[in-house]
Structure 1
């Protein structure tokens, strides 16, 4: 249970860093302040690498993405007051997205301070609704216990954000010599009961048109393997939520598409036809992939935890426990049912496949979204990673970009915060230096954390940043037009992005014709280093496809 203390007392800061080392922490993403200086000094002699960011929000996004990609707790650090408040968005991002992350914030001395209330906020209370656990450390001797508890809760399903505040005087305080550090536990997730699994099998055997939905909670390697087994054994078609992309290779013949919209898309024709939907890893924090209605289809909820009942999500049966084990049980025990009829689903798939080829080679300039998605897919290798910021293009990539493996499409459909795309891609590039990584951002989202280009260059990352440029908040403009409002208040001007990239020591590229896009991206990926590619987009396709064409085509499909 214990690491033996070194001779003599350790400061709170030294004890804190030793406890982080004991948890296997590799990086601390940080914008330090004077209240963190003792901790910074302890970090200087540690084997943990300090990643200095240019904004606390980006540090938090990187820490959260580290948690998402590794399953281990990502750690970020800020000072008090404005530093801590800048972590709030990242806290919500990790909490809603189910990403394990620890935030550490500094504070003025709590035993004796001569600075009044300068920069002081109740950060613990501020973080309470955004985290699974938030505490101020008031005694150096309690540091190891609080860190172990924070890591336990951050990692435990459902993962999320935790926060510890380390005041300046506690960081400098000498802990008792016998203060010990707690070893991480290796508790395993419980398996679902056999009774609930057999009930799920019975429902599956009785169903005529079952369908599988794959959500964010299934984005784990073991779950991916189990789901492939289930689909191959039962032949049940499947679709994904936005955050479930890539769990099963989307070239699979039973893949129907992505529920990027909540209703009215091709995949919803299949959902409407289903009499049973097996929801694997769905969480109501994600934008609803479809709406349940009383008296409609039956839904089985398969997840690490029970379903939060929502007006549009109220499953009739729940299988609660380790998802991979549950799915593997269904594959091994439910069998291939001869009464299943998937012919209608295959008609939907054929319609989806035809639709997604439309305009993929369109030669218009500025470039239409379908062509952008198609060219990105063509230049990215099978194991390449794209990290999407939030904007109109996210819908296009969710629908039109086939993912071949889990966590190769990083997008956020829970908090859906702008500004996360670049830091997320940077984290992926750090963890996977031999893979091709591309951040895909709108001009609006990119500018929210564009200063992190300097961090990416300093870290010598291999990263391509694709800016989809419409000089506006494009998704809101689309919604504004949808609702019949006049175009107002959403247009702006941008810097010269090529010059901007060059100023940071990155390589800037401007696409001036549709034929330039694919070779420019391919060259940037091949060269290595940090590249920014600015491409103008024609978003007139938003209205044509999402507001006009889909309604007509899906009605035709339903009428067959």
Structure 2
């Protein structure tokens, strides 16, 4: 027997110890969560492990952090809860990871299943609860099966399309001694399949035969290898590109062929380019993210380039699919598909000129409360090229998606799949943990920030370097905008806020309030350079929502 085989053997280990050792074998670095009494055996095994427990103040934040770990590293993030209310608090994070394509494992506790201690107290069928929200959910009923179930869960969480998985570990199984012949299963080295040469050649012919091809970059392309492959394709073919919200930064948005971001569903400059295109090469997008354009029968053709086939939808039914490793597919197209003399990009360049002029407007406006364009511009000025901003969900997300140029992949973390409020702060915390040498900023509305604001204590306890920009309008601003668009009276969406400066100080963080537009940039610079956790309260003037999105864009795009 080899020493490796011997190290994989179980020798009088409990289910909990076996579970932690299986996680160690998978390369797990952190477990995020809020343990309960049903997790105590697992917690003791974790105490003796090299895996670090990150204790959060709410399970939802633990799930958001685990999902963001998966998003940024490509490895499975792990979070932990007890039974009942602890497990139900993970539901939103499960949906966040599942819809967003982020590999994440949830571990929940449960009362003993072989004997009853407390009747049905706190007992829910968590496995069934998680079924529609995960790729895999199981209760462990025998300690000997733990290694196989952990390996299978990790395999499925990582496999394209990545997502959430869940294992329930009951108390009595956690304390059960596993059989000596139980073994840890080592991760296997699986390569993603490559698209067929026939499908790639067909795509190449479609590109060559098109007059006005256009590249769309979605969330699935937000990987380092895909990023470089797309740069090669754009440079080789000269084909202009635009991004979905979750595709921001895959190609440096200072590139001369970048047309803009499809932050709005329709009626923006980029939609003028989409309407003009006769072929859209759709790289890494699926219909989970809000569609940036709507297909019509007899309209433009679409090539779907992704790890998996397209889900047919009334607004998305591609004429051709290239299914396989995206980076390999795009590299193939870059080598064989350009440049093509028949392509005409003049209209796209007109759109780009109009976009660039529009986005430069009011970036230095000194009104107070501060308008969104100035906020976005000042954040971009202070953030280095590799700095990371993590956006919560709210009106400002549209402004940042449109107006904030991203220079590298995964430097703008936003969610346009589940689009949950409350994710911005935990996501930024995870980025700061993973990349302590980078500048990291959470950009939150006052509503989204307060949904997980208790995690400021966690950030302070972890000695993170993090700036939290709170865009404050004392209301659920995006819904107010939609309410006005629909012609409804202003009702039911205003609230009061705490003093955010004092709130920060109560947790041991630094608090700042911006009282003039010209003070925003220096306040951001000072907070980023000082280190530690900083909350910056910035009152916002959202009157620009209606002026720009409901009035100005209609006239500008119609006349383009």
Using the size of structure 2 for normalisation, the TM-score is 0.99
1:3–1:181 contact (8 Å) kept in structure 2: no
1:14 aligns with 2:17: yes
1:336 aligns with 2:334: no
2:9–2:182 contact (8 Å) kept in structure 1: no
1:11–1:175 contact (8 Å) kept in structure 2: yes
Which of the numbers 423, 426, 429 marks the counterpart of 2:429? 426
Deviation at 1:68, TM superposition (A): 0.1
Q: Who is 1:314 aligned against?
A: 317
CA distance in 2, matches of 1:5, 1:433: 34
Q: Who is 1:151 aligned against?
A: 154
Which of the numbers 186, 204, 207 marks the counterpart of 1:204? 207
SS at match of 1:535: strand
Q: How does 1:409-424 map to 2 (within 5 A)?
A: 409-424=412-427
CA distance in 1, matches of 2:428, 2:6: 36
Q: Who is 1:173 aligned against?
A: 176
Q: Who is 2:77 aligned against?
A: 74
CA distance in 1, matches of 2:378, 2:111: 52
Q: Who is 2:301 aligned against?
A: 298
Deviation at 1:79, TM superposition (A): 0.0
Deviation at 1:5, TM superposition (A): 4.7
Which of the numbers 477, 481, 492 marks the counterpart of 1:478? 481
SS at match of 1:182: coil
1:215 aligns with 2:218: yes
2:153–2:166 contact (8 Å) kept in structure 1: yes
Q: Who is 1:56 aligned against?
A: 59
1:367 aligns with 2:393: no
Deviation at 1:333, TM superposition (A): 1.3
1:244 aligns with 2:240: no
Q: Work out the number of aligned pairs and report it.
A: 557
Q: Who is 1:162 aligned against?
A: 165
Alpha-carbon displacement from aligned partner over 1:22-70 (angstroms, at most 9, x marks no partner): 0000000010000000000000010000000000000000000000000
SS at match of 2:469: strand
Q: Who is 2:27 aligned against?
A: 24
Alpha-carbon displacement from aligned partner over 1:503-543 (angstroms, at most 9, x marks no partner): 00000000011011000000000000000000000000000
Structure 2 unmatched ranges of 5 or more: none
Q: Who is 1:527 aligned against?
A: 530
SS at match of 1:526: helix
Deviation at 1:191, TM superposition (A): 0.3
Deviation at 1:4, TM superposition (A): 3.6
Q: How does 1:433-448 map to 2 (within 5 A)?
A: 433-448=436-451
Alpha-carbon displacement from aligned partner over 1:160-205 (angstroms, at most 9, x marks no partner): 0000000000000000011100000110000000000000000000
1:35–1:79 contact (8 Å) kept in structure 2: yes
Alpha-carbon displacement from aligned partner over 1:87-111 (angstroms, at most 9, x marks no partner): 0000000000000000000000000
Q: Who is 1:392 aligned against?
A: 395
Q: Who is 1:188 aligned against?
A: 191
Write out the 4+ residue segments of structure 1 that deviate beyond 2 Å after TM superposition.
1-8
Which of the numbers 514, 519, 528 marks the counterpart of 2:517? 514
CA distance in 2, matches of 1:3, 1:220: 37
RMSD across aligned C-alpha pairs, in angstroms? 0.8
1:150–1:162 contact (8 Å) kept in structure 2: yes
Q: Who is 1:88 aligned against?
A: 91
CA distance in 1, matches of 2:321, 2:400: 31
Which of the numbers 129, 133, 137 marks the counterpart of 2:136? 133
CA distance in 2, matches of 1:206, 1:269: 21
Which of the numbers 491, 510, 524 marks the counterpart of 1:488? 491
CA distance in 2, matches of 1:541, 1:295: 37
CA distance in 2, matches of 1:3, 1:393: 55
CA distance in 2, matches of 1:334, 1:366: 50
Deviation at 1:6, TM superposition (A): 5.4
Deviation at 1:114, TM superposition (A): 2.1
Which of the numbers 107, 116, 120 marks the counterpart of 1:113? 116
CA distance in 1, matches of 2:116, 2:451: 35
Deviation at 1:206, TM superposition (A): 0.2
